[in-house]
């Protein structure tokens, strides 16, 4: 594991050095960068609109003339200093305290048994604090990160998914007891990174947050260190990951070079007034690679099946939800803030007519189709679910290529629903792995007669994943497709999407077929003892598709209100 860490650090360092040199090159070449910074500082320190009178300093990177939106006023409130910021940073601090205490408990003899409780305790505490004491909207740490309902929505997803993963890891046979401490530590570090990812509004902070998620993830993928495929997964993850984040950093550095600012709102204003289309397009592509890799969008998805197959099942469950949600969140925040006119309000359009929504639409169709078609041939359930998660990302991206507020809501609705149904399926996969020791579809044969309740709920999760009524998976798909029609754009995507959902049914129902129709090879038909704890996790997760199917209005209202930062 040390080796892996070393490799990852080395490759990261290489990428970092290359790109920091890129930044400095661009910085030198853009002779007006100091002016731009001046402009930005002025911008940050004043909320007035009399930029033009400032004369020469802003003539290239024109300061924005139009009214600052309400949220931006909040964002650029300079009354925040770092100490004050900490008050709004308490959920993150709880997590930090949690992960520090893991180290302590690991050292103290006989205290190991408390690690699990510490982890779950700190997650639950952070969750309760965030829900009960919603902080006021604003920015923290000199405009590095934003606190707003949008990030809160995603933070809830991260906390729920991490909690579930911690709970199912406890009984997993793949996570050995002697590495549990490191495992939980890494999970919490990733969680912290996810929190930052969903709220960063600064190019450097974005990069930092992405890396804070990626590096522990590389190690998590290789956590079963005696397992060859786990090591392979980790190495592949490192190589693909560092390459992608290198490209992303390159793109970010271009943006910095173009605008002279690292604050995404500043970047947007500067681009809007002086953009060079080609430069903008190139940097957009590079950044898309970085984010696309995180959410495993085709054609940057190649790492996904190998990593998901090699990693321990709870880790795979975690990867398939939390970092993806974070990738989606940053994709939305970054692209809607930077690359649209008018900062992504309803009926917005692409900045400088750079037609990136078309690229997203094509990649979305590609992602869905590749994910589904390759899933058809998989024998390994984890690998199948990996491809299925790729196809779901393609489906979510449909909401992203329609530039509207409602479409974003549909995308976020989808990811919220996806969280439960996917984790539900993975929770059952962990359970089956624990009981049969196998990952293949054949190992699921005849499970239904041994564990009827869990199998029944697995069927609900799979039906929801394939998007059939009466489950919330259907509602999510319906909502995304409806927004396509409402905005009357890219309607061909709807046809691709529905054909894909028919294809997906086939492989999801291979699992159902194995569970219900086929008989197990060994004649042992005794019922498997089910731990009451496992049972309730599965039931809790898989019951959700039914609950949100029957009544989903409150969830939708919550999502729409969380998008209020963008609605003018």
Partner 1 sequence: MNSLILSLLIFLPVIGSIIMLVVAKIKLEGREDFYKIIALFTTGLQLLLAGYLYLNFDPSLTVDNSPFTVQIPWIDYFNIEYFVGIDGLSMPMVLLTALLSFICIIISWNIDKKPLGYFSLFLLLDAGMMGVFLSFDFFLFYIFWEVMLLPMYFLIGIWGGPKRHYAAIKFFLYTLFGSVFMLLGMIALYFYSGAETFNLLTLIQVAPTIDAQLWGYNMQWLIWISLFIGFAIKIPIVPFHTWLPLAHVEAPTAISVILAGVLLKMGAYGLLRISYPLLPGEVIAFAYPLAILGVINIIWGAMNAIAQIDLKKMVAYSSVSHMGYVCLGMAAIVSNDPVGREFGMNGAVMQMFNHGTITAMLFILVGVIYEKAHHRWIVFPSDYEDKDLAGKPGFGGLGSQMPIYTGIVAFTFFAGLGLPGLSGFISEAFCFLGGFSVFKLITVIGTLGILLNAIYFLRAYQRVFLGKLNEKCKEYSDINNLELIAVVPLAIIVLFLGVNPQPLIDIISPAIETIISYITPLN
Helical (H) or strand (E) element with 395: helix 381-401
Burial code (b: 16+ CB inside 10 Å, e: under 16) for 442-472 equals ebbbbbbebbeebbebbbbbbbbbbbeeebb
3-class DSSP state for residue 379?
coil
Verify binding: residue 530, partner 1, rule CB under 8 A.
Answer: no
**Applying CB under 8 A, does 3 fall inside the site for partner 1?**
no
Would you tell me how many other CB atoms lie within 10 Å of the CB of residue 181? 18
377 binds partner 1 per the rule CB under 8 A: no
Give φ, ψ of 416 to 5 degrees.
-65, -45
Host H or E run for residue 156: helix 149-170
Per-residue binding string, partner 1, 6-35, x by CB under 8 A, is ------------------------------
* DSSP letters for 304-315: HHHHHHHS-HHH
Report if residue 153 touches partner 1, rule: CB under 8 A: no
In the complex with partner 1, the residue whose CB is nearer, 245 or 369, is 369
Dist. CA 224–CA 99, nearest whole Å: 21
Choosing from 358, 506, 533, 536, the residue that interacts with partner 1 (CB under 8 A) is 506
CA distance 562 to 566: 9
In the three-class reduction of DSSP (H, G, I as helix; E, B as strand; rest coil), residue 110 is classed as coil
| Cis? peptide before 468, omega within 30° of 0 | no
With CB under 8 A as the contact rule, the residue among 513, 520, 539, 540 that binds partner 1 is 513
Tell me whether residue 176 or residue 535 sits nearer to partner 1 (CB atom).
535
567 binds partner 1 (CB under 8 A): no
Return the residue of 43, 416, 457, 552 that touches partner 1, per CB under 8 A: 552
Rg of the chain's alpha carbons, rounded to an integer? 23
Does 498 participate in binding partner 1 (rule CB under 8 A)?
yes
Binding mask 456-495 for partner 1 (x = CB under 8 A): ---x---x----xxx---x---x--xx--xx-x--xx-xx
Q: Which is nearer to partner 1, 160 or 512 (CB)?
A: 512
Beta strand extents in 52-102 (DSSP E only): none
Q: How far apart are CA 125 and CA 444, in angstroms?
A: 37
Closer to partner 1 by Cβ: residue 84 or 495: 495
Residue 505 binds partner 1, judged by CB under 8 A: yes
In angstroms, give the least distance from the CB of 469 to partner 1: 4
Could you tell me the two tokens for 66?
């139009």
Q: Residue 391 Cβ, how far from partner 1 at the closest point, in Å?
A: 15
Report the residue number, 303 or 416, with the smaller CB distance to partner 1: 416
Minimum gap (Å) between residue 309 Cβ and partner 1? 25
Closest CB to partner 1 among residues 255, 493: 493
- Cβ closest to partner 1, residue 272 vs residue 481: 481
The set of residues, in sequence order, having a beta carbon less than 8 Å from that of 433 and lying 6+ positions away, is 172, 173, 174, 313, 439
Tell me the number of residues near partner 1 by CB under 8 A: 31
The one segment of 140-148, 195-203, 298-306, 496-504 that binds partner 1 by CB under 8 A: 496-504
Tell me the window of 50-58, 159-167, 259-267, 550-558 that interacts with partner 1 (CB under 8 A).
Answer: 550-558
- Distance (Å, rounded) from C-alpha 567 to C-alpha 226? 51
Tell me the closest approach of the beta carbon of residue 224 to partner 1, in angstroms: 35
Interface characters, 423-462, with partner 1 (x: CB under 8 A):
------------------------------------x---
**Which span sits near partner 1 by CB under 8 A: 11-19, 152-160, 340-348, 508-516?**
508-516
Task: Tell me if 509 contacts partner 1 by CB under 8 A.
Answer: yes
Min separation Cβ 42 and partner 1, Å: 43
Strand (E) or helix (H) holding 146: strand 145-147
Q: How far is the CB of 108 from partner 1 (least distance, A)?
A: 45
Min dist. Cβ of residue 255 to partner 1 (A) = 37
CB of 109 to partner 1, least distance (A): 46
CB 484 to partner 1: min, Å: 8
Residues 41-100 that bind partner 1 (CB under 8 A): none
The dihedral sign for the CA sequence 291, 424, 530, 534: positive
Closest CB 553 distance from partner 1, rounded Å: 6
- Give the Cβ contact number of residue 404 at 10 Å: 18
Choose the stretch contacting partner 1; rule: CB under 8 A; options: 92-100, 141-149, 236-244, 545-553: 545-553
Query: Residue 152 Cβ, how far from partner 1 at the closest point, in Å?
Result: 21
Among 86, 100, 124, 499, binds partner 1 (CB under 8 A): 499
**What is the three-state SS of 13-51?**
HHHHHHHHHHHHHHHHHCCCHHHHHHHHHHHHHCCCCHH
Q: Any contact of residue 556 with partner 1 (CB under 8 A)?
A: yes
Q: Which residues of 303-323 are buried (b: 16+ CB within 10 A; e: fewer)?
A: bbbbbbbbbbbbbbbbbbbbb
d(CA 538, CA 524): 24
CA dist., res. 487 & res. 476, Å (int):
17
Q: What Cα–Cα distance (Å) separates residue 10 from each residue in 4, 144, 182, 251, 294?
A: 10, 27, 21, 21, 20
Instruction: Retrieve residue 474's tokens.
Output: 């259907």
Report the residue count for the chain: 568
Contact predicate 563/405, CB 8 Å: yes
CB of 330 to partner 1, least distance (A): 27
CB closer to partner 1, 73 vs 519: 519
Please report, as ranges, the residues that interact with partner 1 according to CB under 8 A: 459, 463, 468-470, 474, 478, 481-482, 485-486, 488, 491-492, 494-495, 498-499, 501-502, 505-506, 509, 512-513, 516-517, 551-553, 556
């Amino acid at each position: 594991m040390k080796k892996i860490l070393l490799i990852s650090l080395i490759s990261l360092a290489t990428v970092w050095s290359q790109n920091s040199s890129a930044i400095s090159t661009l910085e030198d070449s853009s002779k007006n960068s100091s002016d731009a910074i001046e402009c930005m500082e002025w911008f940050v320190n004043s909320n007035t609109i009399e930029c033009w009178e400032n004369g020469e300093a802003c003539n290239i990177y024109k300061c924005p003339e139009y009214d600052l939106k309400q949220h931006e006023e909040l964002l650029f409130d300079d009354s925040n200093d770092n100490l004050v910021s900490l008050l709004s940073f308490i959920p993150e601090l709880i997590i930090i305290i949690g992960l520090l205490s893991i180290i302590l408990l690991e050292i103290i003899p006989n205290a190991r048994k408390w690690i699990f409780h510490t982890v779950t305790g700190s997650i639950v505490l952070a969750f309760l604090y965030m829900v009960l004491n919603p902080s006021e909207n604003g920015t923290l740490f000199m405009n590095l990160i934003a606190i707003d309902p949008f990030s809160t929505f995603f933070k809830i997803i991260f906390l729920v998914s991490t909690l579930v993963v911690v709970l199912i890891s406890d009984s997993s046979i793949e996570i050995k007891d002697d590495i549990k401490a490191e495992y939980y530590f890494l999970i919490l570090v990733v969680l912290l990174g996810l929190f930052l990812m969903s709220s960063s509004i600064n190019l450097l902070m974005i990069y930092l947050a992405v890396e804070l998620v990626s590096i522990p993830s590389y190690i998590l993928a290789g956590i079963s260190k005696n397992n060859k495929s786990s090591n392979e997964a980790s190495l592949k993850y490192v190589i693909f990951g560092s390459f992608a984040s290198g490209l992303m950093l390159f793109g970010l550095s271009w943006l910095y070079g173009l605008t002279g600012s690292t604050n995404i709102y500043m970047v947007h204003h500067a681009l809007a007034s002086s953009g060079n289309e080609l430069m903008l397009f190139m940097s957009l592509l590079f950044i898309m690679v970085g984010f696309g890799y995180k959410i495993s969008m085709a054609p940057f998805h190649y790492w996904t099946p190998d990593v998901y197959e090699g990693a321990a099942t709870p880790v795979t469950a975690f990867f398939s939800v939390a970092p993806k949600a974070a990738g989606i969140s940053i994709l939305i925040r970054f692209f809607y803030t930077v690359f649209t006119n008018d900062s992504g309000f309803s009926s917005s359009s692409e900045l400088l007519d750079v037609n990136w929504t078309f690229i997203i639409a094509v990649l979305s169709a590609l992602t869905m189709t590749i994910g589904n078609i390759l899933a058809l041939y998989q024998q390994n359930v984890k690998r199948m679910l990996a491809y299925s998660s790729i196809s779901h990302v393609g489906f979510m991206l449909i909401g992203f290529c329609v530039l509207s507020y409602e479409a974003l809501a549909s995308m976020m609705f989808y990811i919220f629903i996806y969280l439960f149904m996917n984790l539900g399926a993975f929770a059952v996969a962990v359970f089956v792995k624990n009981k049969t020791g196998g990952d293949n579809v054949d190992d699921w044969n005849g499970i239904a007669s041994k564990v009827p309740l869990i199998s029944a709920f697995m069927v609900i999760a799979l039906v929801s994943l394939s998007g059939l009524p009466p489950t919330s998976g259907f509602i999510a798909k319906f909502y995304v497709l409806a927004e396509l029609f409402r905005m009357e754009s890219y309607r061909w995507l709807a046809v691709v999407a529905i054909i894909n959902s028919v294809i997906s049914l086939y492989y999801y129902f291979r699992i159902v077929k194995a569970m219900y129709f086929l008989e197990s090879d060994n004649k042992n038909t005794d019922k498997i003892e089910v731990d009451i704890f496992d049972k309730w996790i599965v039931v809790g997760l898989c019951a959700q598709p039914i609950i949100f199917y029957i009544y989903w209005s409150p969830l939708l209202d919550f999502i729409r209100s969380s998008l209020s930062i963008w609605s003018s």
